[in-house]
Structure 1
Amino acid sequence: MLRCVLAASLVALPALAAAEETAESDMNARPRQLVIVSFDGAHDNRLWMKSLDMAKRTGAHFTYFLSCTFLITKAGDGSRYKAPGKAFGRSNVGFAQSEAEIAERVGHIWQAHLDGHDIGSHACGHFDGSDWSKADWQGEFSAFRTALENAWTTGRVADRQPAGWQDFVKTDILGFRAPYLATSPGLVPALKAAGFTYDASLVSKGPATPDRRDGLPRFALPLVPEGPSGRPVIAMDYNLFIRHSMGVENRRESAAFEERALTAYRQAFEAQYAGERIPLQLGFHFVEMNGGAYWRALERFLTETCKRPEVACVSYADALKMPEVRQEPKQKKAAGAAL
């Protein structure tokens, strides 16, 4: 019997050694390069269709940070919306123009959810919350949830509301980005109380994994080199718009701005792909600034990048589940707020 046990053990040794070698190899394998693309506002229905088509062509998953005033009209529930410290019916980004517009928008939101994209909150009226209390943020989150819960009814298409809509509103709105990236000490406690699982309102000096010091993963848009002098700029279309044309629409130089943006995206990606492989985050809006230069650059970048080996173009919600984020490689220190 002893001889049989010994023989069996000797037979098992090579398999055990191979398993240990594989496990060690997995631990030492380079992480994938994650690319995380997000859109703030998520209102223009034409750009909803354009972004969903872009995702299908490139294989990317996006995060859409939705402003809730685009799910209500000013004449309807908008007249009762009150942001902290503001009058009733105020919004920095306006409201939906009609029930039909809302009906189309909720259809896009639901399709994005079905396609595996991440829907997050961008609050409601796009106000600067840098002096808001926890209670102020909680009021804004409550208004957001109510607008989303009632969106199909508000759009006069309650009979078409998907069976899973209310569960989606309750359990799948996981992330938040503050308008203007303007935060206050009351934000994180309010996010935790509201059940959010991540925040994406910070800025960092370069690509960074989420800051977890507050007990809630907090992602940061990075500063990346841009332009002939390589001056750092926040990796967001609005900041490029300010850099390139002082925030004034300039369609004549659109092609040049596109090439500058694409070069910045490529260089930021290659630095990480060949280096530490810290996730690269890029931010956009549902506005095609400077003749669509930054959206065109984005599509070109994703087309050439997402299908490369060891690359995954994912949403924030996806990233949080991945070892490339959970392992937390070295990261840059956080920088100040953005424009």
Structure 2
Amino acid sequence: MKTADFDFHLPEDRIALRPAEPRDAARLLVVRDGRLADHVVRDLPTLLQPGDALVFNDTRVIPARLDGVRVRDGLEVAVEATLHQRRGPAGWSAFMKPGKRLRVGDEVRFTGLTAVVAAKHEDGLVDLDFDRQGPALDHAIHAAGHMPLPPYIAARRAEDERDRSDYQTVFAAHDGSVAAPTAGLHFTPELLAALAARSVSTHGVTLHVGAGTFLPVKADEVADHRMHAEWGEVSAVTADALNAARAAGGRIVCVGTTSLRLLESATGEDGVVRPFHGDTAIFITPGYRFRAADVLMTNFHLPKSTLFMLVSAFCGLETMKAAYAHAVADGYRFYSYGDGSLLFRSA
């Protein structure tokens, strides 16, 4: 398939710059058997069944964008680093702007910490070795960094203190993401209580979302695109609970493409979810046979993005093009701070 097959028209005024208030007041487009229905997120308990298992990503976003200067031969050049993946106690991989002229051995100074370029890679990533490690490095990044708002928001307004809470889900527990698992932004304690009253169970998995989620697909052919790896974990307790829920007739409902991608990585051809700990670079496109996910709650994604390809695999390309056309025409809000959709997998 060609990347152009996943294009659609999106007016710029459909991009949400702030989340709905309260969070569960966001709109929710339900897509089931090719039919569309307009709801709001707080309707979710009525759209699910007792015994369903809701799976959310409990990663926490760190302030992963660092402003600094590259120092070489006494000259300083302003640079920006967006951290991507932890490489060890003192190391991170990062996307750098500008990055092409960086050399191995260059010193990069940020507010309160310094790094050395340890390696450059063909995929645009740069390895940075920092001057501190472990919790000391974490604290320095939290002090110096900015929340890594997606480019389509950052281009229209500056990041501010409100984003420190707005760009974090109610599930956030484990530091490591440089982008929010945005479907989780719609949840509130009240909504979770209503789901529990409906006998819908909730289960956490961890996928630390990397900065590669913001990168456009540049290949003309979908098969030529390569995903950046992200670290994830599915515990034995969660795997057992999901297998038991499905055996009892419940459905696995993934909150976000991140939890779906991780669960699909952890599930075998036999449909059994197994414990998982490590990197995944799974790339889901039409033709993929889903093993774990029955229902997907997700936001509205970019044209020609890997995530629009994923939802097209889940419900069918023509169905999703129709759903997105409806969302555009009916004023739904798109992207990270936008409205959501509830997708029931096509047979």
Q: TM > 0.5 between the two? A: no
Question: TM-score, normalised to structure 1's length?
Answer: 0.31
More helix by share: 1
Q: Which of 1 and 2 has greater Rg? A: 1
More strand by share: 2
